[in-house]
Amino acid sequence: MIVVMRNGATEAQIKDVCSMIESCGLEVHLSQGKERTIIGLVGDTRKVQEDRVKSYAGVNEILRVVKPYKLANRVFQPEDTVIEVDGVKIGGNNFTLMAGPCAIESREQLFRAAEEVKKSGAKVLRGSAYKPRTSPYSFQGLGEEGLKLLAEAKQKFGLVVETEVMDTRQVDLVAKYVDIVRVGTRNMQNFDLLKEVGKLNKPVILKRGMSATIKEWLMAAEYIMSEGNKEVILCERGIRTFETETRNSLDMCSIPMIKQLSHLPIIVDPSHSTGKRELVKPMSLASLAAGAHGLIIEVHPCPQEALCDGNQSLTPEMFEDIMVMIRKMAPLMDMVL
């Protein structure tokens, strides 16, 4: 249920309504926009009588939210969520570039990647220390040593850093070293993990499950938000279809669809979506044109030597080449780099 206040409703009137709702044992989600104030009710709304709410001064109307996700719902919060980390903004009219290697392999590899992507305009350095590999015999990541290298790279290059967290037991350790944690596609419905990252005071990149519907994805975001963490960045990374030429099928429709349904930022991963480096540029530009709030791209100083996902990793030169176009296109989309 949401309560829409009249234009010009006073602070005292808003406070009265909120107190009444809280006294019924519900949580209040307040969205104070330029135009109007919206009070979202979270919890068992049967405990609140609609007529009673309507009788409060300043109340304009009461709407029922039919979708199962509330906190992530655009109806609850009409304005875009803009997340800020160390001065880097994600969401709204910001187009944020995140780039770096698939896996952190060594100091030299990570630092070379960091230097290059920073030079081209990336604001966030990506890199995994824990790798969810299909085969247990493949490189599994450097673990905490990798996290330490990320923290060093943050200091040295002045980049915001992000990494994947795969397990509830790693959450505190990972959060100690990075600015943004990422939940990968395979864990999108690991509800215990979602609840744990929901307790963090750091943004979470939530990748779309490879077979998840948009509704399931938003419900996963709701899990994180319902624990208190409202800083969720959705990431479209392609879904499984019958197609085998590409690694996944990039669902471009999800970008405008998510923006209609939710106020959360949505970024695109054109690397895992395609699995082919030559497809990364067209999909990056298409994502910007479709309204995405940013990209997360795999860049390796020497892709042919990569321990993971070399086929889809860009050389720094290829990344710069994409950035040349992004710099031209972003203003046309009213986006700020």
Position 179 contacts ligand PEP (CB under 6 A) = no
Binding flags for Mn ion, 275-314, as an x/- string (CB under 5 A): ----------------------------------x-----
Position 102 contacts ligand PEP (CB under 6 A) = yes
312 contacts 272 by C-beta, under 8 angstroms: yes
Q: How far is the CB of 257 from Mn ion (least distance, A)?
A: 25
Classify each residue of 53-91 as buried b or exposed e, where b means 16 or more C-beta atoms within 10 Å of its C-beta: beebebbeebeebebebbbbbbbbbeebbebebeebbbb
The correct pick among 105, 116, 162, 164 for binding ligand PEP (CB under 6 A) is 164
The correct pick among 37, 120, 170, 185 for binding ligand PEP (CB under 6 A) is 185
Position 102 contacts Mn ion (CB under 5 A) = yes
Q: How far is the CB of 312 from Mn ion (least distance, A)?
A: 7
231 binds, among ligand PEP, Mn ion, none (CB under 5 to 8 A by kind): none
Q: Name the amino acid, one letter, at 62.
A: I
Between 9 and 97, CB nearer to ligand PEP: 97
Position 232 contacts ligand PEP (CB under 6 A) = no
SS3 91: strand
Position 237 contacts ligand PEP (CB under 6 A) = yes
Q: How many residues bind ligand PEP (CB under 6 A)?
A: 10
Q: In terms of Cα–Cα distance, which of 272, 216, 284, 267 is closest to 239?
A: 272
Position 236 contacts Mn ion (CB under 5 A) = no
Q: Using N-to-C axis directions, what is the helix angle for 316-332 and 277-290, rounded to 10°?
A: 20
**Number of residue whose CB is nearest ligand PEP:** 184
Q: Name the amino acid, one letter, at 299.
A: V
Residues 6 or more apart whose Cβ sits within 8 Å of residue 170:
130
91 binds, among ligand PEP, Mn ion, none (CB under 5 to 8 A by kind): none
Measure the CA–CA gap between 141 and 160, rounded to whole angstroms. 20
Compute the C-alpha angle 253/285/221, nearest 5°.
45
Report the interface residues with ligand PEP, using CB under 6 A. 102, 128, 132, 164, 184-185, 207, 237, 269, 272
Report the interface residues with Mn ion, using CB under 5 A. 102, 309
